[in-house]
């Protein structure tokens, strides 16, 4: 009873906030070494049922190797992989209740769309009538119902992507792995498909693990994401948390763009810190405490959109830096300002273009004040 | 001054030195003087093989066809002319289909054709059964080790076929290497009869033509996308099932090409059945040889050759037609 009430207290859509929730996929201290290269380095990760989890990282970060170990194509050098309570570490790929959508789609070129989707069910010996029904159902879901007789080479990239998705979903896997699922699509199609993918995931309730190098894609798709670098998980969290509270410099710079100021800690209270930053030319005030030694060098990250620009000195003493506009890039929905601070540091500020006309637009070479609120900065640990 | 001398020497052109770089570019100069017609390169690309076919295949075949329609004669060459010119106005064309009719009447020829087709078909099957695993093995090796394995496959071609056939005879004959070893080991008392049997012919043909099966098979298997096998495994196929449903169907072009490369020359094979086969090994290559050299019946030998061509060309064309159709449908 206590467990049930505890579970109710947590947000049911966010099982990771619930301390007693059972993770669906447990990756326990998994390491993968190729000869002298460590591709995945002691990664531990819990993923919950019906999550859409994104593994985000650059090339060579180990995200694909981790996915291939989940699928069973690579076996870990050490560590365990547990899926739905069963140890899958040594189970061959064809016996895992997992399907994968390959980056290249890997559609069988000698089979029609229908045969491709039916392949997995046939291997399981599902009765013919049921195969036909489930294949038709799945092809309708991905809107490929009218192309059943086509061969893969007669389809466009977007259509192949749908067939690959249908083929990996038709067996109703417990877990679906997607390797750069939208990587081969052009930008417009990618945005449309993102939302479709999310809809399908919610409709079927299957747990998705998506590997991507595209931070925007990861932000849009995921319930939670894990940022990987050099074979390690650097930070795990909801997109909002990772963006607003990056744990370190790598995450701050990898997700979105960021201005970093170095400084010395001068005031360290539980509810705020004050940092003297010769970099910014002012005192930085951040309304959260950190655990560190006094007089330590720290970095403060401030997102470009959180900085206000003004001609007059704003009504605050902390978090104000003065500089000169170096360049303005007009992007339509927003403008990007490159500002050279008096200290010589270049920073980046974005401003939404709220009005069509600006009576007195900011001009290059104009001196401005850059200011931000005490809740805007994040102190990064090294 | 030496500086002044140098400039003077440079100013006076030395005819030998100056003309040297120009002789190297005769082709370039020729090209400038005679502008080559556009499309000539394209024409040469398709023209050279077409010309080759015309001179070395179609013309000789026409000659053979002509001889096959003549009658035997005691003359030089030993056949009659097709066109008879009476010296004034009348030319008579005489086509003798007698040799072809005789081919159908005498069961010797028909059973020789059947024998050749059987030997070729069975040998092709064995080449496929032996060559497929070899090709698959080589294709799955790390890329840097494949050339070595391929070299081993091609290595037998470095010695002449005749030498290799004699080597096999040395191995297989009555007091040959194999029989000696088996007797000395006490496995058999009497030497096994291996030479001059159908077994020896099959062995010889399979051994000789195996590389022709392995190479095209390797070429297709090496190109096979490995993620397709991963996809098959991911969808629940154990490795042997993935082989049957993915690797095997996708390697069909290689199997077809390899089988044709083995089957076609094996049908007309003469050396191996002549040297390793027994008196009852009836193959069309031997019949042709006998007609030509023993009976000096050139028209009969030509008719045998023409019919063999037709027997081979028709199934190959049907097969190609079928392949083109599947290619169109994807």
Domain hosting residue B164, numbered range: 106-296
* pLDDT at residue B211, rounded to an integer: 95
Least CB–CB distance from A123: residue in B225, B227, B241:
B241
Rounded distance between C-alpha atoms, residue A125 and residue A148, angstroms: 21
Q: Which of A119, A168, A173 to mutate to test the interface with B (most CBs of B within 10 A)?
A: A119
DSSP string of A269-287, one letter each residue: -SS-EEEEETTTTEEEEES
**H-state helical runs in chain A:** 2-9, 63-71, 113-123, 128-141, 157-169, 187-204, 215-221, 239-244, 249-254
**Alpha-carbon distances of A21 from A314, A339, B197, rounded to whole Å:** 48, 48, 77
Least CB–CB distance from B234: residue in A71, A104, A153:
A71
Picking from B40, B63, B93, the residue at the C-terminal end of a domain is B93
Q: What is the pLDDT of residues A249-299, one digit of tens each?
A: 899 999 989 999 998 888 888 888 889 998 888 889 988 777 666 667 888
pLDDT class for B15, splitting at 50, 70, 90? very low
Q: Could you tell me the end-to-end alpha-carbon distance of chain B, in angstroms, rounded to an integer?
A: 81
Chain A partners of B241 at a C-beta cutoff of 8 Å? Answer: 123
Picking from B93, B125, B146, the residue at the C-terminal end of a domain is B93
CA of B124 vs chain A CAs: smallest distance (Å): 25
Cβ contact, residue pair B234, A154, below 8 Å: no
- What is the radius of gyration, based on Cα positions, of chain B? 30
- pLDDT-wise least confident of A5-19, A297-311, B277-291: A5-19
B164 and B280, same domain (yes or no): yes
Q: Do the domain assignments include residue B99?
A: no
B11-16's contacts with Cβ under 8 Å and 24+ in sequence apart are none
Q: B114 with B311: CB under 8 angstroms?
A: no
- B178 vs B322 pLDDT, higher one: B178
Cβ contact, residue pair B228, A94, below 8 Å: no
Cβ contact, residue pair B249, A110, below 8 Å: yes
B186 and B240, same domain (yes or no): yes
* pLDDT at residue B73, rounded to an integer: 84
Q: Is a pLDDT exceeding 60 seen at residue A39?
A: yes
Q: A319 with A299: CB under 8 angstroms?
A: no
Joined together, the tokens standing for residue B297 give 């019946």
Q: Is a pLDDT exceeding 80 seen at residue A4?
A: no
B242 and B159, same domain (yes or no): yes
B79 and B121, same domain (yes or no): no
Rounded distance between C-alpha atoms, residue A52 and residue A195, angstroms: 12
Closest by Cα among A244, A247, A209 to A229: A247
Chain A partners of B234 at a C-beta cutoff of 8 Å? Answer: 71-72, 93-94, 98-100, 168
Q: B305 with B67: CB under 8 angstroms?
A: no
Q: Is a pLDDT exceeding 70 seen at residue B55?
A: yes
Q: At what angle do helices B107-140 and B146-154 cross, to 10 degrees?
A: 160
Least CB–CB distance from A124: residue in B232, B236, B245:
B236
Phi then psi dihedrals of residue A348, to 5 deg: -125, 130
Q: What is the mean pLDDT of chain B?
A: 85
Cβ contact, residue pair B245, A119, below 8 Å: yes
Q: How many interchain CB pairs under 8 A, A with B?
A: 63
Phi then psi dihedrals of residue A286, to 5 deg: -120, 130
Q: Is a pLDDT exceeding 90 seen at residue A372?
A: yes
Chain B partners of A106 at a C-beta cutoff of 8 Å? Answer: 225, 227-228, 230-231
Cβ contact, residue pair A151, B227, below 8 Å: no
Q: What is the mean pLDDT of chain A?
A: 90
Instruction: Centre a 10 Å sphere on the Cβ of residue A204 and count the other Cβ atoms it contains.
Output: 16
Tell me the fold of A2-250.
Rossmann fold (3.40.50)
Domain range annotation of chain A: 2-250, 262-380
* pLDDT at residue B90, rounded to an integer: 86
**Alpha-carbon distances of B330 from A150, A151, A193, B256, rounded to whole Å:** 9, 6, 27, 17
Proportion of chain B above pLDDT 90, given as a percent: 49
B166 and B248, same domain (yes or no): yes
B241-248's contacts with Cβ under 8 Å and 24+ in sequence apart are B241/A123, B242/A94, B245/A119, B246/A108, B247/B136, B247/B221
Q: Do the domain assignments include residue B281?
A: yes
Q: A88 with A81: CB under 8 angstroms?
A: yes
Beta bridge pairs of residue A308: A371
* pLDDT at residue B33, rounded to an integer: 63
B45 and B111, same domain (yes or no): no
Least CB–CB distance from B233: residue in A93, A104, A171:
A93
A93 touches chain B (CB under 8 A): yes
pLDDT, mean of residues B131-141:
96
Nearest CA in chain B to A95: B236
B78 and B113, same domain (yes or no): no
Closest by Cα among A146, A80, A160, A73 to A116: A160
Is B269 in a helix, a strand, or coil? coil
pLDDT class for A10, splitting at 50, 70, 90? low
Q: Do the domain assignments include residue B98?
A: no
- What is the number of domains present in chain B? 2
B186 and B67, same domain (yes or no): no
Q: Which of B227, B232, B234 to mutate to test the interface with A (most CBs of A within 10 A)?
A: B234
Chain B partners of A123 at a C-beta cutoff of 8 Å? Answer: 235-237, 241
pLDDT class for A382, splitting at 50, 70, 90? low
Beta bridge pairs of residue A31: A78
- ipTM summary value: 0.84
Least CB–CB distance from A123: residue in B227, B236, B330:
B236
B43 and B154, same domain (yes or no): no
Q: Do the domain assignments include residue B309?
A: no
* pLDDT at residue A295, rounded to an integer: 65
Rounded distance between C-alpha atoms, residue B146 and residue A290, angstroms: 59
Q: Hey, what's the torsion of the CAs at A220, A221, A223, A229, to 10 degrees?
A: -90
Least CB–CB distance from B235: residue in A104, A123, A154:
A123
DSSP state of A248: B
Q: Do the domain assignments include residue B279?
A: yes
Least CB–CB distance from B228: residue in A93, A108, A171:
A108
Q: Is a pLDDT exceeding 80 seen at residue B321?
A: no
CA of B330 vs chain A CAs: smallest distance (Å): 6
CA of B226 vs chain A CAs: smallest distance (Å): 9
Pick the CATH number of A262-380 from 3.40.50.300, 2.40.50.140, 1.20.1740.10, 1.10.238.10: 2.40.50.140
Chain B partners of A95 at a C-beta cutoff of 8 Å? Answer: 236
B67 and B144, same domain (yes or no): no
Q: What is the pLDDT of residues A131-188, one digit of tens each?
A: 999 999 999 989 899 999 999 999 999 999 999 999 999 999 999 999 999 887 888 8
Least CB–CB distance from B231: residue in A102, A124, A154:
A102
Cβ contact, residue pair A102, B250, below 8 Å: no
B62 and B113, same domain (yes or no): no
pLDDT, mean of residues A31-49:
93
A147 touches chain B (CB under 8 A): no
Chain A partners of B329 at a C-beta cutoff of 8 Å? Answer: 151
A73 touches chain B (CB under 8 A): yes
Joined together, the tokens standing for residue A149 give 């007789």
* pLDDT at residue B94, rounded to an integer: 83
B31 and B135, same domain (yes or no): no
CATH number of the domain bearing residue B194: 1.10.3720.10
Is A52 in a helix, a strand, or coil? strand
Closest by Cα among A206, A207, A247 to A226: A247
Q: Is a pLDDT exceeding 80 seen at residue B130?
A: yes
Q: Which of B231, B245, B248, B325 to mutate to test the interface with A (most CBs of A within 10 A)?
A: B231
């Amino acid at each position: 009873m206590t467990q049930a009430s505890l579970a109710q207290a947590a947000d049911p859509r966010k099982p990771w906030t619930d301390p007693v929730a059972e993770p669906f996929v447990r990756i326990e201290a998994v390491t993968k070494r190729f000869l002298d290269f460590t591709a995945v380095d002691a990664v531990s990760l819990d993923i919950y049922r019906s999550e859409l989890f994104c593994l985000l990282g650059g090339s060579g970060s180990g995200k694909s190797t981790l996915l291939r170990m989940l699928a069973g194509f690579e076996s870990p050098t050490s560590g365990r992989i547990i899926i739905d309570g069963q140890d899958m570490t040594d189970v061959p790929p064809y016996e895992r209740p997992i399907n994968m959508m390959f980056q290249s789609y890997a559609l069988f070129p000698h089979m029609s769309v229908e045969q491709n989707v039916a392949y997995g069910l046939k291997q399981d010996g599902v009765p013919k009538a049921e195969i036909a029904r489930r294949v038709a159902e799945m092809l309708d879901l991905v809107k490929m119902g009218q192309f059943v007789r086509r061969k893969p080479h007669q389809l466009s990239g977007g259509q192949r992507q749908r067939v690959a998705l249908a083929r990996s979903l038709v067996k109703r896997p417990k877990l679906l792995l997607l390797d750069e699922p939208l990587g081969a699509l052009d930008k417009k199609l990618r945005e449309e498909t993102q939302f479709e993918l999310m809809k399908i995931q919610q409709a079927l309730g299957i747990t998705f693990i998506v590997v991507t190098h595209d931070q925007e894609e990861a932000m849009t798709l995921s319930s939670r994401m894990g940022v990987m670098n050099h074979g390690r998980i650097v930070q795990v969290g909801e997109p909002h948390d990772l963006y607003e509270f990056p744990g370190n410099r790598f995450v701050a710079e990898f997700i979105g763009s960021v201005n970093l100021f170095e400084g010395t800690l001068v005031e360290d209270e539980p509810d705020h810190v004050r940092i003297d930053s010769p970099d910014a030319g002012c005192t930085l005030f951040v309304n959260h405490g950190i655990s560190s030694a006094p007089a330590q060098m720290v970095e403060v990250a401030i997102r470009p959109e959180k900085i206000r620009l003004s001609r007059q000195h704003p009504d605050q003493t902390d978090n104000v830096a003065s500089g000169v506009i170096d360049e303005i890039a007009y992007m339509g929905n927003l403008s990007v300002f490159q500002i050279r601070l008096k200290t010589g540091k270049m920073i980046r500020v974005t401003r939404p273009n709220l009005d069509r006309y600006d009576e007195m637009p900011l001009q290059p070479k104009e001196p401005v004040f850059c200011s931000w609120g005490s809740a805007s900065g994040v102190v990064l640990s090294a | 001054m030496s500086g002044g001398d140098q400039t003077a020497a440079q100013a006076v052109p030395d005819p030998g030195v100056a003309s040297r770089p120009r002789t190297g570019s005769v082709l370039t100069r020729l090209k400038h003087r005679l502008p080559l017609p556009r499309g000539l390169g394209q024409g040469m690309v398709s023209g050279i093989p077409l010309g080759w076919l015309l001179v070395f295949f179609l013309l000789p075949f026409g000659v053979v066809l002509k001889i096959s329609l003549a009658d035997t004669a005691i003359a030089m060459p030993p056949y009659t002319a097709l066109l008879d010119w009476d010296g004034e106005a009348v030319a008579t064309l005489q086509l003798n289909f007698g040799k072809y009719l005789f081919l159908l009447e005498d069961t010797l020829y028909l059973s020789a054709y059947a024998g050749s087709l059987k030997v070729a078909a069975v040998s092709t099957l064995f080449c496929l059964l032996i060559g497929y695993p070899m090709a698959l093995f080589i294709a799955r090796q790390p890329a840097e080790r494949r050339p070595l394995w391929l070299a081993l496959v091609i290595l037998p071609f470095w010695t002449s076929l005749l030498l290799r056939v004699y080597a096999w005879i040395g191995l297989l004959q009555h007091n040959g290497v194999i029989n000696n070893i088996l007797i000395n080991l006490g496995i058999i008392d009497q030497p096994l009869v291996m030479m001059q049997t159908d077994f020896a012919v099959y062995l010889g043909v399979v051994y000789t033509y195996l590389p022709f099966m392995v190479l095209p098979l390797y070429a297709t298997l090496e190109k096979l996308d490995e993620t397709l096998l991963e996809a098959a495994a991911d969808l629940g196929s154990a490795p042997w099932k993935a082989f049957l449903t993915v690797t095997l169907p996708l390697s069909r072009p290689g199997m077809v090409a390899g089988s044709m490369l083995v089957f076609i020359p094996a049908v007309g094979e003469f050396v191996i059945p002549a040297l390793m086969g027994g008196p009852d090994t009836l193959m069309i290559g031997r019949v042709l040889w006998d007609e030509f050299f023993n009976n000096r019946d050139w028209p009969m030998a030509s008719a045998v050759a023409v019919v063999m061509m037709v027997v081979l060309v028709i199934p190959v064309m049907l097969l190609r037609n079928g392949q083109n159709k599947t290619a169109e449908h994807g």
